[in-house]
Amino acid sequence: MGIKAYSSPLVKLDLRYSVAEHPIIAHFRWDHNAWGSSWLFLLTSVSAYIFSVFFLKLVLLTFKKKPLPLGPIPAIYNLALLVIRVAIFVGCLVATAAEIKETRWIWRKSMSSAEWVLCFPLGTRSAGRVFFWSYLFYLTKYCEFITTFIRILSDEPVGFVHIFDHLIRVFVCFSWLEFSQSLQVLGILTSTLMKAIVCSWEFWRPAYRPKLAAIFQLVEFFIMVAGSVWMLRLHFTREGCNGMASWIFNACAYSLLFLVLWNSDLKHHFKATTKLNQLVQQSKAKQN
C-alpha cells in the first residue's frame, strides 16, 4: 500500500512534465523556425498532394489492373494514428489545465476557465503548451495524407469528397496557429477523441467503419457549432475573442465541408440505415 501511495504522485508528475512542463513544450513558439509554418510550405504541400494523387491514379490505371498487396501496412498505419491521436488528446488536455492554472490570474476577472478554452483573450500569441499540441495536431494532417495513397493502392474509391476533406482540415489547422484562433482547444479535443474511437472500432469491426465515421463526423460538427455559438456570445458580451477573422474562414470551410459530406457520405449512410430499419419492421410485421 505504501508503494502505491508513493508511486501515484510520481506518475502524475512525470505525465505532467512530459506533456506540459518539458521546455520544448512549455517554450514552444509558432514562427518561421517551426517546420511547416510558412504559407509557401502549406501551398506547396497541398499542391504536391493533389498532383501525387492524380499521378498515382494514372500510373495504376495504366500499368496495374489489380490492387497491390499491402500486407500489414494499413493496420500498422492505423495503429500509429490511434496512438498519436490519443497522445495529442491527453497532451492537449493536460497542457490546457496547466496553462489555465498558470495564466488564470491575468484573465480570471473577465472569464472562467471553461470560457478561456473557447475564447482566447485578445492579444494571445501562438506560444506555449496548448499551441505545441495544436502544432502537432496540424502536422498529423499531413500524415493523414497517407490514407489516400493506401486507399488508392488498395483499389478503394478515392473521390473529390475524400481529397477535399483532407485539404480543408490542413488549412483550418494552419489558420489556428497562424492567427491564434479561439475555439481550437475544443476542436483538437473533439477531433482526436472522435477519430480515436473510430480508429479503435476499426480493429474490431472493420465493416462498420464508414457508417461509424459518418456518425462521428456529424457529432463533431454539432459540437463545434455549439462551441461557436458560445464563443460568439463571449466575443460580443466580453472584451472579445482572439482570431475572429480566422474563425469566420474556418466556419465557412467547415460548413462547406459538412454540405459536401452530407450530399455524399452522410446522406448515403443515413438512408441505408433508414431502409434497413424499414426492412426489419416489415419483417416483424409479417411474422406477427
Whether residue 199 contacts residue 85, with contact meaning beta carbons closer than 8 Å, is answered with: yes
| Single-letter code of the amino acid located at 162 | H
Q: Output the pLDDT for position 233.
A: 92
Using the 8-state DSSP alphabet, how is residue 206 labeled? G
Question: Cα separation of 186 and 189, whole Å?
Answer: 5
Neighbours of 229 (CB within 10 A): 10
Query: Between 94 and 274, whose confidence is greater?
Result: 94
Rounded CA separation 131/27 (Å): 10
Indicate the SS3 state at residue 241: strand
Report CA Rg, the chain: 22
Q: What is the predicted pLDDT for the residue at 214?
A: 75
pLDDT digits (tens, 9 = 90+) for 228-277: 999 999 999 888 899 999 999 999 988 888 887 777 655 555 555 554 45
Give the span between the Cα atoms of 169 and 186, in whole angstroms.
15
What value does the mean pLDDT of the chain take? 83
Interhelix angle 73-107/184-204, rounded to 10 degrees, is 150
For residue 120, the 8-state DSSP code is P
The set of long-range contacts for 279-287, using a CB threshold of 8 Å and a minimum separation of 24, is: none
Q: What is the mean pLDDT of residues 38-65?
A: 90
Residue 189 φ/ψ region, left for φ over 0, alpha for ψ in the -120 to 50 degree band, beta for the rest = alpha
Q: Are 57 and 155 in contact (CB under 8 A)?
A: no
Q: Which region among 4-13, 122-131, 134-143 has the lowest average model confidence (pLDDT)?
A: 4-13
What pLDDT is stored for residue 3 in this prediction?
A: 39
**pLDDT winner (highest mean) among 28-32, 131-135, 238-242, 251-255:** 131-135
253 phi and psi, to 5 degrees?
A: -65, -45
The 10s digit of each residue's pLDDT in 142-201 is: 999 999 999 888 888 888 888 988 999 999 999 999 999 999 999 999 999 998 888 887
Cα maximum dimension of the chain:
71
**Which pLDDT score, from 0 to 100, does residue 15 have?**
76
Q: CB–CB of 15/94 below 8 Å? A: yes
Q: Residue 108 — φ and ψ, nearest 5°?
A: -65, -25
Measured in whole angstroms, the distance separating CA 158 from the mean position of its chain's CA atoms is 20
- pLDDT tens digits, one per residue of 222-241: 999 999 999 999 999 888 89
Least confident of 68-72, 76-80, 246-250: 68-72
Instruction: Tell me which of 207 and 161 has the higher pLDDT.
Output: 161
Q: Which three cell numbers stand for residue 142?
A: 499531413
Q: Is residue 112 over pLDDT 90?
A: no
More confident site: 133 or 32:
133
